Amino acid sequence: MKKYENEVKKYLKERDWDNLRPVDIAKSISIESSELLEIFQWTNQELDEVKKDKEKIEEIKEELADVLIYCFNMGVLLNFDMGKIFLSKLKKVKQKYPAHLFKNRDKKVDSDSKSIYWKIKKEHRNKK
């Protein structure tokens, strides 16, 4: 991750963007993630279908990269260790959604998986 953080630092500094306001970056993350979501508007393709759609895959790569760049911009400007925050959050998510509750379910998201997910999500929100 440090390699990417250093590339982003250089990119920001070269453009005098190394003092951007976090709120502006957060807005940009949201805008780019909406563009990613727009690729799927009015469709309901399964994973295998999307993987076979080469044009859609290229669009997804572009928009996903935009989201990642803005996320790295935010992390770099706030002096976050992106690898550390990523792994820390992944650990929390693994604990929040234990594999044994979700593994070996039907490949399609079934109603049981959905209800388990929302039960966990609700419990988590109530703790805050």
Residue 71 shares a structural domain with residue 123: no
- What value, to the nearest 5°, has the Cα angle with vertex 31 and ends 37 and 56? 35
Residue 35 shares a structural domain with residue 76: yes
Q: Report the domain count for the chain.
A: 2
Residue 70 has pLDDT above 90, yes or no: yes
Residue 59 shares a structural domain with residue 107: no
87-107 residue pLDDT tens: 999 999 999 998 988 876 655
Give the integer Cα–Cα distance in Å for 37 and 31.
10
- State which residues form the domain around 57: 2-94
Residues 25/73, Cβ–Cβ less than 8 Å: yes
Residue 85 shares a structural domain with residue 106: no
Residue 59 shares a structural domain with residue 78: yes
Residue 107 shares a structural domain with residue 58: no
21-62 residue pLDDT tens: 999 999 999 999 999 999 999 999 999 999 999 999 999 999
Residue 103 shares a structural domain with residue 76: no
Q: What's the pTM value of the predicted model, to 2 decimals? A: 0.82
Residue 101 shares a structural domain with residue 90: no
Residue 107 shares a structural domain with residue 48: no
Nearest alpha-carbon partner for 2 in 70, 67, 75:
75
Residue 40 shares a structural domain with residue 55: yes
